[in-house]
């Protein structure tokens, strides 16, 4: 079976280095908030191009903590509205709701799958206080227009960079484009840990210090608690593994781009819509999304022929039970994407014989 993302093979690529790093942590006897963490935060901030990086337990916490910190700083208040793409992974929206803020869903662009900048302004009202863009599938969602809107209406601009480590906008990395960004290092991500892990990047010192405190039970001094915080820290083992993964992220993304280029140049089936990348943008192909009205039968055909294709995502957020109050809302573009999207195998370890087999199967599919 050609897996969608073969995590074992991705780990095997640097197995000795990873084992050495894990052993080093095990033998150090220091498992939390130590030297590996300090190094990773420094390395990742420098890679992304921000002054600060705070390692946290996962990507959802990273987004939650950004919003929570803005509430503690008095920049956001309960009930404030945060604009977010309607077709994002649920975690972006959960982070907003869990802070008693109101997510306002905006349709994506059908070509790029990113939030449609031309539809943001119509959702702005006096309660709107922020925009959370999501670099979905690995493509940059930031545009000059979004930046201009946020400046004009004095909105916080936050990035969900869970799927786009290494992606750029005009030479600047995603994760450094807004006021703050949340990153996930879930194992299948472009830069994955060996379990859950995440980070926040920002240039805002007050925000960075507050997030560090909130992620440590609300404490900046041992046994003194200034906030009702949570426990969300990046384990030393994950930080050590991420220090290795960071060395290879650009090389891994280059491989992903090469696979994507092959798919784009060689898939000729007229029933398939291929992803597009705008000139100003970049794409690190966390996944390779195609669209077709025959999605489910194409997926079964590929499965029968030894190729695992996945759906990102089968049910849109507004149709989920946890947001039943939105079930009558209509987001036709989002629904179309959820009904037609299929992710072809994509990873830094996919071989030429594997991705050419995928193309051959798709071109032969009627």
- Which residues sit at the interface with ligand PLP, rule CB under 6 A? 58-60, 88-89, 91-92, 134, 160, 162-163, 184, 186, 196, 198
Nearest to ligand PLP of 234, 298 (CB atom) = 234
By the 8 A CB rule, do 284 and 257 touch? yes
Query: Angle formed by the axes of helices 352-364 and 236-266, to 10°?
Result: 50
End-to-end CA distance of the chain: 22
Residue nearest to ligand PLP (CB): 59
Residue from 170, 348, 153 nearest 248 by CA: 348
Please tell me whether the peptide bond between 313 and the residue prior to it is cis, using omega within 30 degrees of 0. Answer: yes
Nearest to ligand PLP of 275, 298 (CB atom) = 275
Distance, C-alpha 195 to centroid of its chain? 16
Q: How far is the CB of 61 from ligand PLP (least distance, A)?
A: 7
Q: How far is the CB of 364 from ligand PLP (least distance, A)?
A: 32
Nearest to ligand PLP of 59, 218 (CB atom) = 59
Say how far apart CA 242 and CA 251 lie, in whole Å.
15
Q: How far is the CB of 141 from ligand PLP (least distance, A)?
A: 10
Q: How far is the CB of 167 from ligand PLP (least distance, A)?
A: 13
Q: CA dist 274 to 56, 113, 155, 282, 335, Å?
A: 35, 11, 33, 15, 18
For residue 57 the two structure tokens come to 């337990």
By the 8 A CB rule, do 53 and 199 touch? yes
Nearest to ligand PLP of 184, 216 (CB atom) = 184
Q: How far is the CB of 346 from ligand PLP (least distance, A)?
A: 14
Nearest to ligand PLP of 243, 362 (CB atom) = 243
Say how far apart CA 72 and CA 86 lie, in whole Å.
27
Say how far apart CA 274 and CA 276 lie, in whole Å.
6
**Cβ within 8 Å of residue 223, ≥6 positions away:** none
Q: How far is the CB of 91 from ligand PLP (least distance, A)?
A: 3
Nearest to ligand PLP of 116, 196 (CB atom) = 196
Nearest to ligand PLP of 196, 204 (CB atom) = 196
Q: How far is the CB of 262 from ligand PLP (least distance, A)?
A: 24
Nearest to ligand PLP of 134, 214 (CB atom) = 134
What are the strands, taking DSSP E only, across 101-151?
Answer: 102-106, 128-134
Residue from 255, 167, 11, 175 nearest 263 by CA: 255
Nearest to ligand PLP of 40, 186 (CB atom) = 186
User: Could you give the 3-state DSSP secondary structure of residue 73?
Assistant: coil
Nearest to ligand PLP of 70, 89 (CB atom) = 89
Q: How far is the CB of 317 from ligand PLP (least distance, A)?
A: 11
Q: How far is the CB of 62 from ligand PLP (least distance, A)?
A: 8
Q: How far is the CB of 23 from ligand PLP (least distance, A)?
A: 25
User: Could you give the 3-state DSSP secondary structure of residue 108?
Assistant: strand
Residue from 127, 134, 24 nearest 80 by CA: 127
- The H-or-E segment that residue 295 falls in is helix 295-304
By the 8 A CB rule, do 285 and 264 touch? no
């Amino acid at each position: 079976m050609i897996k969608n993302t073969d995590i074992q093979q991705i780990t095997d690529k640097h197995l000795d280095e990873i084992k050495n790093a894990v052993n080093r942590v095990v033998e150090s006897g220091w498992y939390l908030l130590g030297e590996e963490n300090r190094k990773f935060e420094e390395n990742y901030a420098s890679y992304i191009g921000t002054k600060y990086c705070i390692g946290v337990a996962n990507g959802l916490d990273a987004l939650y903590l950004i919003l929570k910190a803005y509430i503690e700083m008095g920049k956001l208040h309960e009930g404030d509205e945060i604009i977010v793409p309607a077709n994002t992974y649920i975690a972006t929206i959960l982070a907003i709701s869990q802070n008693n803020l109101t997510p306002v869903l905006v349709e994506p662009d059908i070509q790029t799958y990113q939030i449609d900048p031309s539809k943001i302004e119509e959702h702005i009202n006096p309660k709107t206080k922020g925009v959370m863009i999501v670099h979905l599938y690995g493509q940059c969602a930031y545009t000059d227009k979004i930046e201009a809107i946020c400046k004009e209406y004095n909105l916080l601009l936050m990035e969900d960079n869970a799927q786009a480590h290494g992606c750029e906008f005009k030479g600047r990395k995603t994760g450094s484009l807004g006021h703050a960004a949340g990153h996930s290092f879930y194992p299948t991500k472009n830069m994955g840990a060996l379990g859950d892990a995440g980070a926040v990047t920002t240039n805002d010192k007050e925000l960075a210090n507050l997030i560090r405190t909130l992620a440590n039970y609300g404490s900046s001094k041992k046994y003194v608690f200034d906030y009702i915080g949570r426990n969300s820290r990046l384990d030393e083992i994950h930080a050590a593994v991420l220090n290795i993964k960071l060395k290879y992220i650009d090389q891994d993304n280059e491989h992903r781009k090469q696979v994507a280029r092959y798919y784009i140049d060689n898939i000729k089936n007229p029933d398939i819509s291929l992803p597009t990348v705008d000139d100003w943008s970049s794409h690190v192909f966390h996944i390779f999304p195609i669209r077709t009205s025959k999605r489910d039968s194409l997926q079964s055909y590929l499965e029968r022929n030894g190729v695992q294709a996945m759906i990102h995502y089968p049910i849109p957020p507004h149709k989920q039970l946890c947001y039943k109050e939105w079930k009558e809302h209509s987001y036709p573009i989002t629904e179309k994407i959820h009904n037609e999207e299929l992710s072809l195998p994509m990873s830094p370890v996919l071989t030429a014989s594997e991705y050419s087999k995928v193309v051959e199967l798709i071109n032969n599919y009627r």
